[in-house]
Structure 1
């Protein structure tokens, strides 16, 4: 007796293999059988004729640390077919915070919570315990953030850490790894982590290998100095003896347009010598905190939130400057603390990086922006709709692989990311002819089109355009080291 059968669907299994027509039968939390299941008994049968049955998408780069707790329905993710999120990226995690977060909250930690109320977990174990007590709709894997560790231990963030501070950060990182963190992330491009030396990072991450952890990094430079930043990243991975993930690989600033022709072969060469992975998002605009130095590098900027001027969320920075009667740099200073969308990349670089076979897909969405980047709700449908179907950048099977099997393999998520007997029943059913993000920058908080059913650990979490109210997500750990 099957608990549920998806009947008459077209299976794209997440491995990159060609699609095939088959039924998929689920028992409990796992897939039991794939093939012709006509006549087999089942408690529920869902006819998915004409639809794709794929593994649930894995968001390789998320900032959902707080949303997992504050909005456990996880609508921005589950509505676009995401069943597992990797949180704690860019050096920013909600825990540990043993001495309390400063007020006002130190950027970029304010991307997770501007009030500071959610930085309430002295230990990483306490944060994970809270998620186990109140499961979200999606699965979650969690990184511990280096910047969070700096804020939790250091008196002067404008300096490299002292020996005593490094020792304390290493202790907290090791405790997080022991509790279930899958690795450590850094955000060396942010002001609060820029002073950290390579040696500081290596010493803080010293226990990664013992715990089978991974090193994920928003590198120190994604513009003119990107080659040096990659060298630093690869050195850290080699010296620690752990896999490296280059977060949201991009080339920022007009002077660097086209340089993916240089960076991708360099990454490929490094991959032949050590474990290296990378993720990217399918837009030529990024989003983070608003800062004057970033405003100088970009022609168009949309403000996503502002503490002193909340009414300007969603407006172009130049229009705000005109309304205030100042130049854009004075306007930037007045709006801070704030967030922004920066149109700083070349579309051809974006497509080249997306098409690079080892590139995983991550949203890098910021759930707590007043007017967020559309990638929060639409990154995965945009890959499937705009780039695979619309532009023919790669076959649909490749697109699905980039957001499922490839990601599960790189992160060591056993029995996830593929449709096969015995794997967890994380499944997304979608219409390949209509799948697309809901809207763009003007109305970014809209569910995607074409997502029909989403199942997490054998339970339907989203069906026919709405949450089912079932929260069956669970913690996912690294179970194997990708060699």
Structure 2
């Protein structure tokens, strides 16, 4: 007997294959059968007639390290859009291993000031298991976090002994179940790091076959050199490389995705490489003066210097105060911002590329977050697949499930298939849509009926049913 039978739906299985009518039988948190199961007994039945049944979405680029330790009082930003698994620790920023009573330097402070209490990466994973996360979590170790822990002067490259200590921490984290290393060479804590330093720190990845995800050193004028550096690091380590939130910043770089994607295609002939991106033409990170001139608009998402600035235009604030936008950055800092500096044609071209997965890159602790935190996955399905017809629904689901599971080594996730974990989303393809906007960034999405995680109903019509259905996923084999 099945614990749960999802019947009458149209299965889009996550592989990219054509949809088909099928029921899904579940027991013990796993999929036992897919097919005509209408005559089979089940303790519970979920009516999916007229709905799409697909694997739970895998958000491959998150900063949910701290969010996973808590249960939001209201709607959950990830459950409400069908996400069942998140990859944390991106852009060089992970909550562990770093034991500190002080607020770490930006951008580590994007994760907050008070939770830097895990001296070993395994301690964080254990705490996460004890908390009972709402989502499944696959966790990365941040290179910048390791630098803050071991390099006293972040303005210089690490010495050989410092790199060795960082590498030991990475090896310990991999043994505990971390999936790989992330870098954020664009940001101040890691800007002085050389490619040689990253290769030395990442050495344990090679034997463990962990992956490396890279927020590259530049996404604007010097993007070609930054891509070459990232690809060189991945090739030197002999591991799979994920290019984080691939994009082109600044008007004079609009259209250059034609060239950058050609570089990735060439590299993919000789090394394992892929990308993630989010479906918006605006980015969000710490407030930086260097980013202001590249942008047609800048919205402040949070500010310690002036909390009232959150949600307001930096340019409008500067006009009110009679100063330049760049000069306003320091009195607002530390702070975060949304930057409108990308072109929609590049977003479409990158999102549509066969090597591109979907990741929200949402910042859960911003006072006024980028809407990608709440709307990324329904936006891909509704706006880009259904309305814009950038790709088929089957391709869209594949980019958010099967492709992501394969690239990150999530061996039993990402497919509606026998013996896979029962992470499942049921939605209405005719009306699924993101509702979060830059004016109302926390509006839940529409069109998702149910979200099952490990066979348990976690979210129904936007309301959290089980806030502890997730599991900590620990790396178990090479990928």
TM over 0.5: yes
Runs (5+) with no aligned partner, structure 1 = none
Residue 224 (structure 1) aligns with: 221
Of residues 380, 385, 390, the one that matches 1:388 is 385
Distance 2:197 2:132 in 1: 35
Provide the aligned length of Structure 1 versus Structure 2: 478
| 1:85 counterpart SS class | strand
TM-score, structure 1 normalization: 0.97
Matched, 1:407 2:404: yes
Instruction: Pick one of 268, 289, 294 that aligns with 1:292.
Output: 289
Alignment-derived partner of residue 110 in structure 1:
109
* Pairing 1:21-420 to 2, within 5 Å after superposition: 21-71=21-71, 75-98=76-99, 100=100, 102-103=102-103, 105-113=104-112, 116-420=113-417
Deviation track 1:367-416 (CA, whole Å, cap 9, x = no partner) reads 00000000001000000000000100000000000000000011111111
Cα deviation for residue 164 of structure 1 reads: 2.1
> Which secondary structure state, in structure 2, belongs to the residue aligned with residue 278 of structure 1?
strand
Contact 1:90 1:218 in 2 (8 A): yes
C-alpha distance in 2, partners of 1:221/1:53?
Answer: 39
Cα RMSD, aligned residues only: 1.2
In the other structure, the counterpart of 1:3 is 3
Matches of 2:233 and 2:275 in 1, distance apart? 15
User: In the aligned structure 1, how far is the partner of 2:3 from the partner of 2:224?
Assistant: 52
Deviation at 1:102, TM superposition (A): 3.8
Query: What secondary structure does 2:134 align onto?
Result: coil
- Distance in 2 between residues matched to 1:477 and 1:196, nearest whole Å: 28
TM-aligned CA deviation for residue 72 of structure 1: 6.5
Distance across 2 between alignment mates of 1:221 and 1:423:
39
Matches of 1:286 and 1:208 in 2, distance apart?
29
Alpha-carbon distance between aligned partners in 1 of 2:461 and 2:343, rounded to the nearest angstrom: 36
CA distance in 1, matches of 2:45, 2:107: 47
CA distance in 1, matches of 2:278, 2:70: 25
Map of 2:460 onto structure 1 = 463
Using the TM superposition, give the Cα deviation of residue 70 of structure 1 relative to its aligned residue in structure 2, in angstroms: 2.7
CA distance in 1 between partners of 2:166 and 2:414 (Å): 33
1: CA distance, partners of 2:469 / 2:128? 11
Distance in 1 between residues matched to 2:321 and 2:122, nearest whole Å:
46
Match of 1:440 in 2: 437
Deviation at 1:276, TM superposition (A): 0.6
My pick for the range that moved more, 226-235 or 250-259, is: 226-235
Q: 2:174·2:475 contact (CA, 8 Å) conserved in 1?
A: no
